[in-house]
Structure formats: C-alpha cells, structure tokens
C-alpha cells in the first residue's frame, strides 16, 4: 500500500521534511507510525503520547483504517489561550 505522510509544526522542523511517500503493509494509521518509529532517531518523536493525526485531512485516532493512496498527517497538539 502507498500512503503520503505529511508532518506539521515542530515535527516538520525536527525531521527536516514536509512529507514523504511510504510503501508498506499498513492497515491503520498506527502501522504507518510504527514503520516510522522503526527508523529510530529523529522519528522517535512520533512516540509522544499527545501526538495528533489525521487521515485525508480529517482528525482521527491511530486505529483509523487506511486505504491505498491515503494521506496521513502527524502533528503536535495545538493549544490556544
């Protein structure tokens, strides 16, 4: 399966990437995250408890199922005041 991964805010800054294409066996968003975590540093930041994610620009949970060609985005929580 092919998915497009997009990084936002400090994740983009730390990884030095806006996004990347990823190919693998991905049933859900967490499978993508686990594949990235397996790369080691600097991808370890995706293990944060408060990580937020989206599938095709809709907020979702890590258990969200994926389909061929989906876009998966990872970003830190947004706070306001």
CA angle at residue 18 from 3 to 48, to 5 degrees? 80
**Can you name the residues that pair with 75 across neighbouring β-strands?**
52
What is the rounded average pLDDT of the residues 59-79? 94
pLDDT, greater one: 81 or 10: 10
Q: Where exactly are the structural domains of the chain?
A: 2-75
pLDDT level of residue 19 (50, 70, 90 thresholds):
very high
- Give the model's pLDDT for residue 81: 53
Summarize the confidence of residues 8-20 as an average pLDDT: 96
Architecture of the CATH domain 2-75: Roll (3.10)
Give yes or no for residue 1 having a pLDDT over 60. Answer: yes
- How many C-beta atoms lie closer than 10 Å to residue 50's C-beta? 6
Supply the mean pLDDT for the chain.
95
Report the pLDDT averaged over residues 10-37.
97
Is the pLDDT at 26 greater than 90? The verdict is yes
Paired strand residues for 28: 65
Are residues 29 and 57 in contact, defined by beta-carbon separation less than 8 angstroms?
A: no
């Amino acid at each position: 399966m092919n998915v497009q991964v997009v990084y936002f805010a400090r994740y983009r800054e730390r990884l030095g990437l806006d996004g990347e294409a990823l190919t693998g066996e991905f049933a859900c968003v967490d499978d993508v995250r686990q594949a990235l975590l397996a790369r080691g540093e600097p991808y370890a930041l995706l293990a944060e408890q408060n990580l937020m994610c989206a599938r095709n620009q809709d907020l979702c949970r890590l258990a969200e199922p994926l389909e061929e060609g989906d876009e998966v985005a990872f970003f830190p929580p947004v706070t306001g005041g």
